[in-house]
Amino acid sequence: MTEATKKHQYTLIILKPDALVKSLSGNILTRLLEARLRLIGAKVVKVSRELAEVHYAHLKDEPFFDDLYEYFSGKTYGPKYERVLVFVSEGVDAISKVRRIAGATNPLDADPITIRGAYGRINKKGIMENVIHCSDSEESAKKEIHLWFDPDEIIGELYPTKKVIKENYEVIEWA
């Protein structure tokens, strides 16, 4: 790729529950940050069925979706691991860079120097437990960042926002 075609991009990264079970979060973040990707959003999320169905809308009607949800929600590993770590990162060619570091979807096909190749596996139900999610295009990055983050949870102005005044809106605060 020439200098002229390099592009500043945003991408959504999820460390799936198996990354947490295997204590890989630090290792994976090191790999991403060494590739000059900056984090501009980060949080821990318990993944509801509704959220999974929107995030994986292209797989929602597959016969394996129930098993995929078991894995993606962390239910496979028990209540202590029902969570994922979600990041927005930015950098030059961030989308293809993270996809390259992550490796092929199927851990058996992934280069062993990639995250999925090194740490992924296929579970007994045939689900690819591949440790990391990363957006595959600018279009999906935009959709996924809107789905997982509110504008004020991210450093920077990535996409257009609007101010809304809400009445009778319940929030939980520290007591």
Residues that bind ligand UDP (CB under 6 A): 56, 59, 68, 105, 127-128, 130, 133, 136
Task: Provide the token pair at 33.
Answer: 């940050």
For the chain, percent helix, then strand, then coil, each to nearest 5?
40, 20, 40
User: Measured between alpha carbons, how far is 73 from 45 in angstroms, rounded to an integer?
Assistant: 9
C-beta closer to ligand UDP: residue 41 or 103: 103
Q: How many CB atoms lie within 10 A of CB 148?
A: 22
Cα(68)–Cα(125) distance, integer angstroms: 9
User: Quick check: is 133 catalytic?
Assistant: yes
Residue number, nearest CB to ligand UDP: 105
Q: How far is the CB of 148 from ligand UDP (least distance, A)?
A: 15
**Complex with ligand UDP: residue 54 or 167, whichever CB lies closer:** 54
Q: In whole angstroms, give the CA distance from residue 9 to residue 11.
A: 7
Nearest-approach distance from CB 23 to ligand UDP, in angstroms: 19
At residue 127, the 3 state secondary structure works out as coil
Taking the complex as a whole, the smallest distance from the CB of residue 20 to ligand UDP amounts, in Å, to: 15
- Catalytic residue, chosen from 8, 58, 133, 146, is 133
Q: Of 146 and 161, which CB lies nearer to ligand UDP in the complex structure?
A: 146
Just list the catalytic residues: 133
